[in-house]
Amino acid sequence: MAKDVSLDGRVAVVTGAARGLGRAIAERLAAAGATIVAVDLPAALGDIPDTWQHAPIDLAHDDADKKLAQLAARLGTVDIVIANAGLVPPWRGLDALDRAEWDRVMRVNTWGVAATIGAFSAALERSGHGSIVAMASINGYVAHPKQALYTASKHAVIGITRAAALDLGPRGVRVNALAPGPIATEALLARLETRQKAGGLAADAALKDLAGGTALDRLATPEDVANAAHFLASDASAGMTGVILPVEAGLS
């Protein structure tokens, strides 16, 4: 492995690490030599590898920022933070919004990202090569019908990333974000199955349609996203900050 992408001896905190894209990213960083600290809901952490450290934190709770700060103080120095945890709400039109759902999603997807960055900023500064990777989405710069809440939250993640890059750059900490397109995770498949039950396309057909709209004629994979996260976390991207990196197989 090239020295500039090796993560040997580095500590990586990954929120939402137990499943989905967070799990794929954590596994990729671990394969590159990083020590993983998995942050996730208490019930989700039972399935993580024994070699990973863990911290049960629900980012929707009022005390999440305090628990994140306590974790940062315990670790002392952190080299990488992947602010991945997020919620994907059901599709809703603007005439059918749910206030409680809106508040919970925005709390996790926006406050959770900002609070994570803030809690670990000093620990990352001590690293000397601190790197933060936030999880945005293609919905951070385009919109889709009946996804106002998710779209708003991911637009906010891009704003948080760019502002944090300016705030933390003078302290030697880089802040970038990934913007994945549709990824065939369990969460996406469940939403497509829900649509199918409501009279929409079969899940397989919907996936084929999504793939057909890309330059590569396939969907990006969790491994694609994990590789991009590894690049942004490593010294290979040392000259990059404030960047929103699409991982979507060339959506037209």
CA dist 244 to 6, 22, 159, 160, 165, Å? Answer: 22, 17, 10, 11, 11
CA dist 242 to 30, 112, 160, Å? Answer: 24, 18, 10
Model confidence pLDDT, tens digit, residues 97-148: 999 999 999 999 999 999 999 999 999 999 999 999 999 999 999 998 999 9
Distance CA 24, CA 78 (A): 20
Break the chain into its structural domains and give their ranges.
3-183+220-247, 184-219
In the prediction, which pLDDT does 119 show? 98
* 193, 176 contact by CB (below 8 A): no
Place 68 in a pLDDT band, splitting at 50, 70 and 90: very high
Mean local confidence (pLDDT), 228-235: 98
The overall average pLDDT reported for the chain is 94
Q: Is 150 a catalytic residue?
A: yes
Place 193 in a pLDDT band, splitting at 50, 70 and 90: confident
**Paired tokens of 91:** 């599709």
**1 pLDDT higher than 70:** no
In the prediction, which pLDDT does 252 show? 60
Mean local confidence (pLDDT), 195-202: 78
In the prediction, which pLDDT does 102 show? 98
**CATH numeric code, 3-183+220-247:** 3.40.50.720
Classify 46 as helix, strand or coil. helix
Place 167 in a pLDDT band, splitting at 50, 70 and 90: very high
**186 pLDDT higher than 80:** no
In this prediction, what percent of the chain has a pLDDT beyond 90?
Answer: 85
Q: E strands along the chain, which residues? A: 11-15, 35-40, 53-56, 80-83, 131-135, 174-180, 244-247
**Paired tokens of 190:** 């469940």
The DSSP letter of residue 62 is T
**198 pLDDT higher than 90:** no
- Angle separating helix axes 186-197 and 203-212, nearest 10 degrees: 120
Place 150 in a pLDDT band, splitting at 50, 70 and 90: very high
**Of 67, 150, 177, 247, which is the active-site residue?**
150
